[in-house]
Structure 1
Amino acid sequence: MAVTLWCALCSCLLLCAYSMVPNPQNARITSINLRSILQWDAPRLHKGNITYTVQYKSINLPGNTYENVGTNLTLTECDVSSLSAYGNYVLKVRAESENDHSDWVTITFKPMDDTNIGPPDVKVKSESGSLHVDFIGPFAELDNWPLKKYYGSWNYRILYWKKDSSTEVTHIDTDHNSEILSQLEPWTIYCVQVQAVIPELNKTGELSEVLCEQTTHNGVTPVWIIVTVLIGSMLAIVISVPLCFFSFLYLYRLAKHVLCPSYIFPEHLKEFLSKPPSSSQDFSALPQEEHLFYDKLTVVSEESKNQNDETGDETSKTTEHLQHSEQEDSDLRIVPASEEA
Structure 2
Amino acid sequence: MSAAPRHGLALLHGLLLLFFFCGGADGSEVPPPQNVITKTLNTNYTLSWDWPPGAAGTHAVTFTTQYVPRYQLKFKKKKTNWITACNQTSHRSCDLTRFNLHYLGIFVLQVRATVDGQHSEWAQTEFCPDKEAALGPPSNVTLAPAGSDLDVVVTDPLTSNNTSMREHVPNLYYHVQYWERQADGQAKRLRINTTMVTLPGLKAWTWYCVRVQSRDDFYSKTSDFTVPHCMQTEGSIPWWNIFLYFLGSLLFFFLIVLGTIYGLFRCCKTMKDVLNPSDQMPSHLKKYLCSSPGSDIPRLLTPDSESELLCEGVTICPPPTVLEIHIPPAEELAAPPSGLEPNSSVRHSRQDSSSSGDSGVYSSGGGSSSSSALKHLSAVRHNHMGSDDIFKGLLDPERVNLREMTAHLKSQPEVADEGVVDVCV
TM-score range, shorter chain: 0.5 to 0.7
TM-score by length of 1: 0.58
Label 1:17 to 1:61 Cα distance change in 2 as closer, same or farther (>3 A): closer
Provide closer, same or farther for how the CA distance between residues 38 and 66 of structure 1 changes in structure 2, counting only shifts above 3 A: farther
Cα distance in 1 for residues equivalent to 2:198 and 2:67: 47
Q: Which amino acid aligns with 2:102?
A: S
| Equivalent residue for 1:67, pick from 73, 82, 86 | 82
- Alpha carbons 2:24, 2:30 under 8 Å: kept: yes
Asked if the contact 2:20/2:29 (under 8 Å) is kept, the reply is no
Instruction: Please tell me whether the aligned partners of residues 40 and 134 of structure 2 are also in contact (alpha carbons under 8 angstroms).
Output: yes
What is aligned with 1:50?
61
Return the alpha-carbon distance in structure 2 between the equivalents of residues 189 and 107 of structure 1: 50
Residues in 2 aligned to 1:180 and 1:109: alpha-carbon distance in whole angstroms: 40
Q: Does 1:33 align with 2:33?
A: no
State the structure with more CA Rg.
2
The answer to whether the Cα contact below 8 Å between 1:53 and 1:68 also exists between their aligned partners in 2 is: no
1:55/1:66 contact within 8 Å kept? no
Counterparts of 1:235-250 in structure 2 under 5 Å? none
Matched, 1:126 2:142: no
Paired residues of 2:134 and 2:221 also in contact (CA < 8 A): no
In the alignment, what sits opposite 2:92?
76
1:150 Cα deviation from its structure 2 partner: 1.4
Matches of 1:92 and 1:194 in 2, distance apart? 37
Give deviations 1:65-101, integer Å, cap 9, x for gaps.
3513332223222122212222111211110123311
- Listed as ranges, the matches of 1:252-291 within 5 Å are none
Larger proportion of strand: 1
What CA distance in whole angstroms lies between the structure 2 residues aligned with 1:18 and 1:98?
8
Deviation of the 1:179 alpha carbon: 0.9
**Preserved CA contact (<8 Å) 1:27 1:41:** yes
Match of 1:103 in 2: 121
Structure 1 residues 62, 42: closer, same or farther in 2, change over 3 A? closer
Q: Find runs of 4+ consecutive structure 1 residues off by over 6 angstroms.
A: none
Contact 1:129 1:186 in 2 (8 A): yes
Structure 1: distance between partners of 2:64 and 2:26: 24
62 and 105 in structure 1: CA distance in 2 versus 1, 3 angstrom threshold: closer
Contact 2:67/2:108 (8 A) holds in 1: yes
1:149 matched to 2:161: no
CA distance in 2, matches of 1:210, 1:16: 53
1:18 Cα deviation (Å)? 5.6
Q: In structure 1, what residue type is equivalent to 2:191?
A: D
CA contact (8 A) 1:56 1:66 kept: no
Structure 1: runs of 5 or more not aligned: 229-341
| Cα distance in 1, alignment partners of residues 168 and 224 from structure 2 | 17
What's the CA shift for 1:222? Answer: 4.5
Provide the residue aligned with 1:94 in structure 2. Answer: 112
TM-score normalized by structure 2? 0.48
Letter aligned with residue 54 of structure 1: T
Any conservation in 2 of the 1:23–1:43 contact (CA below 8 Å)? Answer: no
In structure 2, the partner of 1:199 is 217
Give the aligned length. 225
SS in structure 1 opposite 2:186? strand
- How far apart are the structure 2 equivalents of 1:165 and 1:14? 67
CA distance in 2, matches of 1:89, 1:171: 38
Contact 1:22 1:44 survives alignment (8 Å): no
Q: 1:174 aligns with which of 187, 192, 206?
A: 192
- The alpha carbon displacement at 1:210 in A equals 0.9
Q: Look up the match of 1:22.
A: 31
Q: Deviations over 1:220-270 (max 9, x none)?
A: x647579x6xxxxxxxxxxxxxxxxxxxxxxxxxxxxxxxxxxxxxxxxxx
Q: For the residues of structure 1 that align with 2:36 and 2:73, how far apart are their CA atoms?
A: 24
SS in 1 for 2:218: helix
Tell me the secondary structure at the aligned position of residue 57 of structure 1.
strand
Partner of 2:157: 138
SS of the residue aligned with 2:187? strand
**1:214 counterpart (227, 232, 236):** 232
Distance in 2 separating the partners of 1:174 and 1:17: 62
Question: Are 1:34 and 1:112, in contact at CA under 8 Å, matched by a contact in 2?
Answer: no
The residue type paired with residue 175 of structure 2 is R
Letter in 1 for 2:194: H
CA distance in 2, matches of 1:173, 1:34: 25
Cα distance, 1:97–1:14 mapped onto 2, change above 3 Å = closer
Deviation at 1:62, TM superposition (A): 5.1
1:16 alignment partner, SS class: helix
